[in-house]
Structure 1
Amino acid sequence: MLYISTYAKMLKRDFPVLILSLFILCGFFVFMQHAFRASVAIQEGVISKDMRNINVEEAVPAPVEVFFGDELFEKELQRRKLIEPKDSREVKILTEATPTLGQRLKKLLKCNDRQLRLEKIQYGNYWLLRNYIRGTISTSVGCADTITLTTNGDYTFFDSLPFLTERWQAPISFAIFSPGYDFNATLSSIQFVRNCLRESQYIRDYVTFHIYFPPTDMPEYAPLTEKEALLWPYDCEAAPPYMDVDRNTMYKTEHNMTYPINVGRNIARKSVNTYFIFASDIELYPMPDLPRLFLEMVERNRSVYLDNKELRVFTIPVFEVTKDSQVPETKTQLVEMLRTHKAIPFHSKICKNCHLVPKHNEWVNASDTNELSLFSVTKREGKFHYWEPFYISDNQEPIFDERVTWEGQSNKRIQGYAMCLLKYDYFVLHPAFLVHSPGIKYFDKNSPRLSYVPATNKLIKQVIQPEYRILFGTNKKCFT
């Protein structure tokens, strides 16, 4: 108790001195703060020798921020431009993020992005509802982000669409011939595949539907907008409207109409928003992940594709498998199926040389890899003068001639003839491949299509070939 009493007396005696010392210390800090600001202001040229002439009453001091410790030190470094403000450094880090593959290729290819929009236009002898129902991802995909598969058909081909879309998982541009009341079945089929299947999400994401028909064979009613078209009724409990269709009851058949396959091919090609396309048939299934693998190959092979002025396309070998077989996922599986005769080159029983790629045996024997490469190159000449390859392109090759039909055959070979005259190079990709919907194709000597062939051949020889020689040049090595 004695000690406590003594300390209390000392505190009472020295308290005024402590208070005075505290005021002196605070004054010292205030003085140092103003001195620091004054030195900064002098260095910045704010204070001049003419300070006496300034009207103090008119001068309005700017609000001052007070900083201490590390923050004060950082502000001084920023003032001396030794470091950047923290927020600008954060922005710089964000803006210098590594560009994506699509962004890098966009710069290299010098392509422009564009959105898919609904258009109602006259296309030759047809009314075209372009981008009538769009894939949600495909609508605004970047021009070099992926590849668009372009295809065509009528609503009876929709059974191939789910598997194709799941396997491709990239934009698909699908042109559908729908005259008269076939239009109704087409919309019902679109709604069914978009809403009622395990693969429906892929179809909603990626598939853009274009519908075309002659003005003489209009539907009775067509929804005016995409939103209205998506309200078209469907029944997921019913059988798919595209399955087991009696073709004799279709409007096209009842009105004795041929199928304008090349019109559909060109519509699908002209309706894309990506730099690269893959013009294919809806029943051909590509190996998984092909779009990404191809774009990565393009970036690795700039000297071959981007820096070379020669016209070129990138061919994919095609195969078909037996009816009871599964479509292979990898080249390794494909080769095993070839060994056991579960798979054969496409159309081997009809026209083997029409689809066999150069160095076929070497391609088959080459080891499977995780990257695409350019395996071989040729022109459509010599033993390949009847070649009808499927290929990825930059969409600059000649269009498909719309004067021929599916029934008359030779619909792809005419374009091949034009590309031969233009001296196109065909690079074969490895290990990429296509497989037709299961079932081996055989020549049918009783096919009703054969009755259309003579007229088509006459048109090609007497009209189309002379025109093409004027437009694209001559080459005795080129044939249709």
Structure 2
Amino acid sequence: MFLRSRHTLGKCFICLFLVILAVNFWLSPRKPSYRLKDFEKLRFPLQQNGEYWIYQDFIRAESHNVGYNQSITLTSHGTYRDLRNLEWLNVRWEAPISLAVFVFQNDFKKVMARLNYLRYCTVTRSSFRRWVSVHLVIPQNHVPVNLRNIDASGSFGSLCRVPFETPRRQDSFLLKTHTRYPSSLLKNVARWNAKTYYTFNLELDILPTKHLAKNFMQFIKHQSLRQPLKSVFCLPIFEQPMDITIFPRSKSDLRASFEGSLWEKTSQEKDIHLWLNSQGKDDEVGIYQLTHESRFCEAHIGINSHLPFYDQQSDDYPFLNNNLQLQLLVGLKFDFVILDGVFLIRRRTVQTQLLYRNTFAPKKLNQVGNLMKLNSLVLWPETE
């Protein structure tokens, strides 16, 4: 009898315990259960920067996991009008490209038409899909309501018609609306999204020699620099002459065409001739000169994490933006390593920037000293 009562009492305690657990479960706040797909939707890659919104990785390159120290990321920027230059660039540049595109609300269809044409319809379409990542920079008053639903994947179908037209000054939306083109922000966005140790900021109308990234990485492995973290590698730029449609592939080709007086005269003509007549081998990257001067350095390769970002206060006068950056590098006592055997060619094409860059009056650049102090603190804090 006693054992039977103990058994009954034990059952009662167990039942009471289960009832308490059930009540506690129903009364406690429930945590939402997200599927992985839903979680990814919540993490929409949109960030604010001042009066602009940035859509990171609107298009992600198939090779976005390329080794950190195995290549160079070419960083660039433009509007939908400048995307025509990507086809030429994909022929010459076989490495990651991080591209920031400035977009107005009414430009999305045009942007998508041009991007899908490049991704699915051109000879270089496989190169585009493999290497090019696209990031959108949108003015805050032009963010589409349905931005989350805009599909970057596109389709083949009827998209394979040439969607490019020759840009005209009077057609520029930037001019009509007196809108600022945030060139510094766009350059910074492209660099923020670079996944490699070295980056190469270049305008879309400038073409490098073929295999530059591969040849540079082979070259840098065998170099012992005086200031490895404070060195930039400079490439001379040649303007495309009016009567040249086939671009020189090597330094020998360039020298031959230059001696025929086909190339545009520059203020650095003497330096150009000295560089052309140096003993560097074709397609083999070497050092022509190491200097503290920024000549030949309008375009340069550098370590992304140790280069100052572009000053976004200077966007009112983008024509002087690169000069300010070079002044900053000189002030920070960088070494300028002028490369031999490789070069750049600026194609004769109309860029969006050229349609409006003269509409803003340049201001005095008084902030170089402050930028030097701040960048020294950020980039090399252990030396302060």
Give the shorter-chain TM-score range.
0.7 to 0.9
CA contact (8 A) 2:332 2:372 kept: no
Matched, 1:373 2:295: no
How far 1:327 moved relative to its partner?
1.4
CA–CA separation in structure 1 for the residues paired with 2:264 and 2:166:
27
**Residue equivalent to 1:457:** 363
SS at match of 1:187: helix
Counting only pairs closer than 5 Å after superposition, residues 187-206 of structure 1 correspond to structure 2 as 187-206=112-131
Cα displacement string for residues 431-457 of structure 1 (whole angstroms, at most 9, x for unaligned residues): 11000114799xx9xx8644423xx32
CA–CA separation in structure 2 for the residues paired with 1:332 and 1:389:
22
CA–CA separation in structure 1 for the residues paired with 2:176 and 2:145:
17
**Residue equivalent to 2:179:** 257
Kindly tell me: are residues 269 and 239 of structure 1, through their superposed partners in 2, closer, same or farther at Cα, counting changes over 3 Å?
A: same
Counting only pairs closer than 5 Å after superposition, residues 255-334 of structure 1 correspond to structure 2 as 255-301=177-223, 303-304=224-225, 308=227, 311-325=230-244, 326-334=246-254
SS at match of 2:320: coil
CA–CA separation in structure 2 for the residues paired with 1:406 and 1:284:
23
CA–CA separation in structure 1 for the residues paired with 2:145 and 2:185:
23
**Residue equivalent to 2:84:** 159
How far 1:249 moved relative to its partner?
4.6
What amino acid is the match of 2:260? T
How far 1:222 moved relative to its partner?
2.4
Cα displacement string for residues 274-332 of structure 1 (whole angstroms, at most 9, x for unaligned residues): 1111111111100000011101111111x227xx4561100011101212312111111
CA contact (8 A) 2:235 2:297 kept: no
CA contact (8 A) 1:262 1:402 kept: yes
How far 1:204 moved relative to its partner?
1.0
Cα displacement string for residues 381-428 of structure 1 (whole angstroms, at most 9, x for unaligned residues): 7xx5xx752111011211111122375520111111211111011001
Q: Which runs of 5+ in 2 are unaligned?
A: 1-42, 377-384
Matched, 1:433 2:336: no
**Residue equivalent to 2:371:** 468
SS at match of 2:284: coil
CA contact (8 A) 1:136 1:205 kept: yes
Matched, 1:210 2:122: no
Matched, 1:360 2:272: yes
CA–CA separation in structure 2 for the residues paired with 1:123 and 1:419:
25
CA–CA separation in structure 1 for the residues paired with 2:345 and 2:309:
24
Equivalent residues, number:
329
- Structure scoring higher RCO (CA < 8 A, sep ≥ 6) equals 2
CA contact (8 A) 2:100 2:189 kept: yes
CA–CA separation in structure 1 for the residues paired with 2:375 and 2:76:
26
| TM-score (normalised: structure 1) | 0.63
CA–CA separation in structure 2 for the residues paired with 1:273 and 1:374:
26
SS at match of 2:314: coil
Kindly tell me: are residues 163 and 173 of structure 1, through their superposed partners in 2, closer, same or farther at Cα, counting changes over 3 Å?
A: same
What amino acid is the match of 1:304? L
Kindly tell me: are residues 237 and 359 of structure 1, through their superposed partners in 2, closer, same or farther at Cα, counting changes over 3 Å?
A: closer
Kindly tell me: are residues 238 and 429 of structure 1, through their superposed partners in 2, closer, same or farther at Cα, counting changes over 3 Å?
A: same
How far 1:231 moved relative to its partner?
3.0
Kindly tell me: are residues 182 and 430 of structure 1, through their superposed partners in 2, closer, same or farther at Cα, counting changes over 3 Å?
A: same
Please point out which of 314, 330, 334 is paired with 1:420. Answer: 330
CA–CA separation in structure 2 for the residues paired with 1:438 and 1:373:
28
Which has the larger Rg? 1
CA contact (8 A) 1:314 1:427 kept: yes
Counting only pairs closer than 5 Å after superposition, residues 37-76 of structure 1 correspond to structure 2 as none
CA–CA separation in structure 1 for the residues paired with 2:118 and 2:290:
39
Kindly tell me: are residues 221 and 299 of structure 1, through their superposed partners in 2, closer, same or farther at Cα, counting changes over 3 Å?
A: same
CA contact (8 A) 2:188 2:310 kept: yes
Cα displacement string for residues 23-42 of structure 1 (whole angstroms, at most 9, x for unaligned residues): xxxxxxxxxxxxxxxxxxxx
SS at match of 2:104: coil
Matched, 1:392 2:301: yes
| TM-score (normalised: structure 2) | 0.78
Structure 1 ranges of 4+ moved more than 6 A: none
Q: Which runs of 5+ in 1 are unaligned?
A: 1-116, 474-480
What amino acid is the match of 2:49? Y
How far 1:224 moved relative to its partner?
3.9
Kindly tell me: are residues 132 and 449 of structure 1, through their superposed partners in 2, closer, same or farther at Cα, counting changes over 3 Å?
A: closer
